[in-house]
Amino acid sequence: MEKLLDIKNLHAKVGDKEILKGLNLSVNPGEVHVIMGPNGAGKSTLANVIFSHPEYQKTKGSIVFKGQDITNKKTNEIAKLGIFMSFQQPEEIAGISVFNFIKTAKNKLSGAPVDFFELKDEIAENMNALSMQENMQNRDLNVGFSGGEKKKNEILQMLELKPTLAILDETDSGLDVDAIKTVSNGINMFLNSDRALIIITHSTKILEKLDNYFVHVLVDGKIVHTGDKSLADEIDKHGYSTFKGK
């Protein structure tokens, strides 16, 4: 099986500070990979570096997606290849409705206009599954949304844009128990044998509805340990002290 994502010996820095220090990660279609680690370990940096955020400079290593080297590609080019990222703090964009944002993004990805009424119905169906009010698709993107509504809106975009690889950067942070369950349901709606998911999280709550996944412990810019879902439970009970200094 060809790897969907293959990261080798990745080094990256912000300014003069090196954050990623030789990170390796491989993801195959149909897999879920969970990245956990203490604050400042480089978890969000990894997501931003994959997406070529301009504040982060790759200094060594490679990122290959679907057999194509994307190490030096631009963010929009990476998105068009089929990678999606949700944000810890989604931006508010006044003047652009949720519907128009999704419609424009889908048009750009496909290179052809989508059917207005078909998309309207599809968004309404996904909003219902995510316990979102249907009229929210007519509101300005994230403007006046609660924290939970913003996070659900990120999952809605993921379901609509149908990427091959989705990266969720602490999508569960700040959510109550019911919202976490809803987001987890959305994740299960997204997953299939052709798609993969990277979840960056501090909590195991968002993982409870997932059957199988890999857990990677990231410490000081490197993945120092990998295991199955039992590793997440171990971290939940004992923290990261066992892995520091490795």
Instruction: Spell out a b/e string for 28-59, using b for 16 or more CB atoms within 10 Å of the CB, else e.
Output: ebebbbbbbbbeebbbbbbbbbbbbbeebebe
- pLDDT at 203 exceeding the cut of 90: no
Distance (Å, whole) CA 42 – CA 36: 10
pTM score of the predicted model: 0.94
Which fold, 5-88+145-238? Rossmann fold (3.40.50)
Range 211-224 average pLDDT: 94
Instruction: List pLDDT tens digits, range 35-68.
Output: 999 988 999 999 999 999 999 999 999 999 999 9
Range 139-162 average pLDDT: 94
Q: Are 106 and 161 in contact (CB under 8 A)?
A: yes
Query: Per the structure block, which two tokens stand in for 146?
Result: 């609660």
SS (HEC) of 60-106: EEEEEECCEECCCCCHHHHHHHCEEEECCCCCCEEEEEHHHHHHHHH
Q: Are 216 and 225 in contact (CB under 8 A)?
A: yes
pLDDT of residue 246: 59
Domain boundaries, the chain: 5-88+145-238
Give the residue carrying structure tokens 């369950």. 181
Instruction: List pLDDT tens digits, range 83-142.
Output: 999 988 889 999 999 999 999 999 999 888 999 999 999 999 999 999 999 899 999 999
